[in-house]
Amino acid sequence: MHIDGEIKKAGEARLSVFDHGFMYGLGLFETFRVYNGHPFLLDAHMERLEAGAEELGIVFHYERKTVEAEIRQLLRANGLQNAYVRYNVSAGPGDLGIQTTPYLEPVIVIYMKPLPAAGTEPVQKDALWLQLRRNSPEGRERMKSHHYMNNWLARQEIKDQPEAEGIFINDKGFAAEGIVSNIFWRRGNTLYTPAVDTGILNGITRQFVIQLAHENDYIVEEGYFLPQDIKAAEEMFVTNSIQEIAAVRALGDYCFPSHSAARLLHSRYQKEREKQ
């Protein structure tokens, strides 16, 4: 891994027990894929990270050349061309107690693990409704932060089905998102996806897929939808930066008869993976 400018073996990396990312969850991260040495949608991921850090009072400034150099260095150290990357910014050490002044010395950790070369067809998976409700965001909008208890508890709920994606409903009863994904479904030429105001993470892949959908003449409606709205759909798919676009075979006992939008959007996604 890469920690504060140095390559370290995983067992040799060290963080202070006074790091407020550890003590109070004051940290943010982005996960993205590297395809043949190219970090996909890097600017979008890192600009979101920078904006979140500013909201948390963590002084972090994104410089593309620096981040690209760090990733290349870590790819070489691990002998990889295709990889999963987690770029993590933690607040850094502080005194006991909640701090109101800016964090001037954040700790940057880049994690990396190998991934196989990306496929030419979307992954297919099953989904099911979670009993656990999606918690409300800690601030005005959900950030990709160290606050992951809700997701962890959700994964425990479906641990006997490790390949399935659990789908959250929020506290008002609206469909929200997956444990590690955003959700879409299609009726006719319209794609539906929950609005960011439902408390979901505004995923970078979600945003990119909405862009691709518009470019391919789909209507996209973001809004407040009940679980039964999805049962009227012809197809469903989920998105995240590692799985890309995954077609959903079934949600609970309801099977989707089509994967046409998922296949089309995935084919367009493929063409962009080493460009953006």
- Average pLDDT rounded to a whole number, residues 155-165: 96
Q: How confident is the model at residue 146 (pLDDT cuts 50, 70, 90)?
A: very high
Q: How far is CA 142 from the centre of its chain?
A: 12
The per-residue pLDDT for 40 is 98
Q: How confident is the model at residue 7 (pLDDT cuts 50, 70, 90)?
A: very high
The per-residue pLDDT for 34 is 98
Distance between CA atoms of residues 78 and 1, nearest Å: 9
Distance between CA atoms of residues 276 and 274, nearest Å: 6
Strand ranges across the sheet with 2-3:
6-7, 2-3, 107-114, 83-90, 27-35, 38-39
Q: How confident is the model at residue 275 (pLDDT cuts 50, 70, 90)?
A: confident
Q: Which two tokens stand for residue 266?
A: 């995935």
Q: How confident is the model at residue 274 (pLDDT cuts 50, 70, 90)?
A: confident
The per-residue pLDDT for 72 is 97
The per-residue pLDDT for 240 is 98
Distance between CA atoms of residues 14 and 164, nearest Å: 34
pLDDT value at 11 more than 90: no
Q: 21: helix, coil or strand?
A: helix
Of 129, 110, 116, nearest to 242 by C-alpha is: 116
The tens digit of pLDDT for each residue in 178-231 reads 999 999 999 999 999 999 999 999 999 999 999 999 999 999 999 999 999 998
The per-residue pLDDT for 276 is 74
- Average pLDDT rounded to a whole number, residues 94-100: 96
The per-residue pLDDT for 5 is 87
The per-residue pLDDT for 149 is 97
- Average pLDDT rounded to a whole number, residues 85-111: 97
The per-residue pLDDT for 176 is 98
Q: Which two tokens stand for residue 217?
A: 């003449």
Q: What is the CATH number of domain 2-114?
A: 3.30.470.10
Share of the chain above pLDDT 90, in %: 95
pLDDT value at 155 more than 90: yes
Q: Which two tokens stand for residue 244?
A: 């890309």
The per-residue pLDDT for 4 is 83
The tens digit of pLDDT for each residue in 31-50 reads 999 999 999 999 999 999 99
The tens digit of pLDDT for each residue in 245-265 reads 999 999 999 999 999 999 999
In the chain, which segments carry CATH 3.30.470.10? 2-114
Indicate the helix (H) or strand (E) that contains 13.
none
Distance between CA atoms of residues 85 and 78, nearest Å: 12
Q: What is the CATH number of domain 124-272?
A: 3.20.10.10
The per-residue pLDDT for 16 is 95
In the chain, which segments carry CATH 3.20.10.10? 124-272
The per-residue pLDDT for 10 is 85
- Average pLDDT rounded to a whole number, residues 56-63: 97
State the average pLDDT for the chain.
96
